A = this chain, B = another copy of it.
Amino acid sequence: MSSPDEIAKAFVLHYYTLFDSNRAGLGSLYQEGSMLTFEGERLQGSASILKKLTGLPFQSVAHKVDTMDAQPSPGNGILIYVTGQLQVDGGNTLRFAQVFNLQPTGVPGGFYVLNDLFRLVYG
């Protein structure tokens, strides 16, 4: 059984690799009860969330994680807090911070994103 830190690390690597290479693949990480608050805009359910993420107006994006913290959360979940930098279409680097609350899917070792909160952080 992996520790919350190991699961968090693997999830974060998987999430941003998928985001940067195949955004449409992110849909499988969310379920109907999933919530995304993206720059203050609220979305619920994997279909709405995927539509938002795939509709973001850029061709390419590259995320770089600077810090990652994880804690166990209720429901055998894992709360993950990431700060980092992203570069959109080869332009300026922007700072971001993002929170994920993973919950078990029911499949052994499986997790989905219940809570996702994203903000750019302006310096």
Contact = CB atoms under 8 A, between A and B. Distances in A.
Interface of A: 35, 37, 40, 67, 69, 71-75, 77, 79, 81, 83, 95, 97, 99, 101, 103, 114-115, 117, 119, 121-123
A81 B119 contact: yes
A104 to B, nearest CB: 10
Nearest to A36: B71
B83 A121 contact: yes
Contacts of A103: 74
Residues of A contacting B: mostly: strand
Contact of A71 (B37, B73, B77, B122): B37
Nearest to A77: B74
A63 to B, nearest CB: 15
Nearest to A69: B37
A114 B83 contact: no
A3 to B, nearest CB: 13
A73 to B, nearest CB: 6
